[in-house]
């Protein structure tokens, strides 16, 4: 009896390994791959979307831009080409949600610090106040690392249109100003094609954890 088991022990082990491999392959094939949605203007609260694009259901992307960062450098979409990035809207003199948002964006920065695939982009909604020196002071205070995170200012009309027509991220104040806007707490996750893949409450630590998880999910799409 012992000789019988000894004779077939090797074959039994091989069969077991093959069986485990086959089961794993079947599990992988049957397990649905998690993918993030692609958000269109029609999917988003209409208050955050310019009326001219509220009907759009396909092919929405972030428009080209040209803004100035905390170091006086011109930043365009080319600086984010081939990158996943997180965007938001803020202003340096905000005393309510902005400090919390900036602290949480700092945490995101530190989590992706060594990841060359991911960057950050924060737009001022009060560019008339947030000059380059003002942004630089704020960046230094908040621990902004230049290679990962741009704080940008520039033409208010362009920032307004980016906010309302590209990132779908701010409301108008309704006070009659031509480019009046109130930013939300949202962080937007943008993929390498310039598409919105997620919205996250930038004041909520749980939402920030979800954002970090979704960045990793999004990265897997580019590994296929």
Q: What is the mean pLDDT of the chain?
A: 89
pLDDT digits (tens, 9 = 90+) for 46-66: 999 999 999 999 999 999 999
Same domain for 12 and 54?
A: no
pLDDT digits (tens, 9 = 90+) for 17-26: 555 555 444 4
The torsion of the CA quartet 222, 220, 108, 181, rounded to 10 degrees, works out to 60
C-alpha distances in angstroms, 19 versus 8, 15, 23, 26?
A: 16, 6, 6, 11
pLDDT digits (tens, 9 = 90+) for 145-189: 999 999 999 999 999 999 999 999 999 866 656 677 888 999 999
- Confidence check: pLDDT of 10 > 70: no
Same domain for 22 and 76?
A: no
- Residue 19: per-residue pLDDT: 52
Same domain for 189 and 142?
A: yes
Q: Is residue 195 part of a domain?
A: yes
Same domain for 21 and 101?
A: no
- Confidence check: pLDDT of 31 > 50: no
Q: What is d(CA 89, CA 69) in angstroms, rounded to the nearest whole number? A: 14
Read off the pLDDT band of 3 (50, 70, 90). low
CATH value at residue 121: 3.40.30.10
In eight-state DSSP terms, residue 99 is: H
CB atoms within 10 A of CB 103: 15
Same domain for 208 and 187?
A: yes
Number of domains in the chain: 2
Same domain for 66 and 20?
A: no
């Amino acid at each position: 009896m012992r000789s019988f088991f000894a004779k077939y022990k090797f074959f039994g082990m091989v069969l077991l390994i093959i069986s485990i491999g086959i089961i794993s392959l079947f599990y992988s094939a049957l397990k649905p791959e998690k993918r993030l949605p692609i958000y269109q203007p029609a999917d988003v609260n209409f208050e955050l979307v310019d009326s001219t694009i509220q009907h759009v259901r396909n092919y929405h992307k972030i428009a080209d831009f040209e803004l100035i960062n905390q170091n006086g450098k011109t930043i365009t979409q080319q600086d984010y080409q081939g990158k996943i990035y997180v965007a938001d809207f803020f202003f340096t003199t905000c005393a309510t949600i902005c400090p919390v948002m900036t602290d949480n964006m700092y945490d995101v920065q530190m989590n992706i610090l060594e990841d060359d695939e991911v960057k950050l982009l924060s737009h001022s909604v009060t560019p008339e106040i947030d000059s380059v020196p003002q942004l630089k002071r704020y960046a230094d205070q908040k621990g902004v690392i230049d290679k990962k995170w741009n704080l940008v200012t520039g033409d208010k009309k362009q920032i307004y249109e980016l906010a309302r027509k590209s990132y779908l991220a701010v409301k108008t104040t309704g006070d009659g100003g031509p480019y009046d806007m109130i930013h939300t707490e949202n962080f937007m996750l943008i993929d390498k094609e310039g598409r919105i893949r997620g919205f996250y409450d930038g004041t909520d630590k749980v939402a920030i954890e979800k954002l970090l998880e979704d960045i990793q999910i999004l990265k897997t799409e580019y590994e296929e």
